[in-house]
Amino acid sequence: MNLLIDIGNSSIKLAKSAGTDLCEEVIQSQISTDFLSIYLSTGLKVERAIVADSGKVPDFLKAFLEEKQIQLHVISPQWKLPFSIHYETPETLGKDRLANVAGALALYPGKNCLIIDAGTAVTYEYLIEGNYLGGAISPGLKTRFKALADQTDKLPLLEASDDFIFPGNSTRNSILSGVILGLVHELNGHIDSFLSQYPNGSILLSGGDSKFLAKRINSHIFAHPNLVMIGLNHLLNSNFRSN
């Protein structure tokens, strides 16, 4: 059995997998050895783990997995990937970005895909004829709200909500309108541009804010909140054999 770990900017996601099937997915603000011991105590024995990290893999996690005799693999652009990378600085690519592209290719082989991951940052990935062309990165919803509060003296820190009026008739409604509709227009603009070039392409949406944003997107999308995990599992299975 595989252990899949996605260490993001604001949360840590874990899942187990047997073959291609994901199971027991959890989302934590942080993890500890006690939590991991309990999490791994149920189900089949975990033989190997894969990590997509936004920074450095914690030393305690490495030590814990080594103690449990679980092979640790950290996703890398040097692995055997099911797509070609056309990116000037592959060493700077976010591991979650690689996993998203691998997940899209596993789910939609042969399709041209625009993969959108809406979290702390919003990433756009272009997978065209088996080639990863790169994409774009912009601030996510929470980051935009926080930037307004941090960089001004009087604007409050708000959270995403469906309860707002546009045009904004108050500071609250104006902030919500500006942040939410601004990101929605950005999303729809990227999608329209992609579909103008690849009319039969697929749009995949993942990330923590995907459910909130999905209902505001003009085009048909495929929502895959577990896309990173699907990609991690696919890469682990294709690069390393189980014991």
| pLDDT band, residue 242 (cuts 50/70/90) | low
What is the spatial distance between Cα 228 and Cα 117, in angstroms, rounded to a whole number? 9
pLDDT of the residue at 91: 87
Reported as a single tens digit per residue, the pLDDT across 113-147 is 999 999 999 999 999 999 999 999 999 999 999 99
Write out the CATH class of domain 84-231. Answer: alpha beta
pLDDT at residue number 79: 86
User: 153 catalytic, yes or no?
Assistant: no
Q: Tell me where in the chain the CATH 3.30.420.40 domain(s) lie.
A: 2-77+232-239, 84-231
pLDDT digits (tens, 9 = 90+) for 150-186: 999 999 999 999 999 999 999 999 999 999 999 999 9
How is residue 194 written in tokens? 């992609």
Rounded distance, CA 82 to CA 104, Å?
Answer: 11
Mode of pairing for the β-strands spanning 2-7 and 12-18? antiparallel
Choose which CATH entry (3.40.50.360, 3.40.190.10, 3.30.420.40, 3.10.580.10) describes domain 2-77+232-239. Answer: 3.30.420.40
* Residue 43 falls in which region: left (phi positive, over 0), alpha (psi -120 to 50) or beta: left
Residues 223 and 95: beta-carbon distance below 8 Å: no
Tokens of 210: 């995907």
pTM, 2 dp: 0.92
pLDDT band at 240 (very low <50, low <70, confident <90, very high): confident
Average pLDDT rounded to a whole number, residues 103-120? 96
Write down the catalytic residue from 96, 153, 162, 163. Answer: 96
The H or E element spanning position 182 is helix 182-197
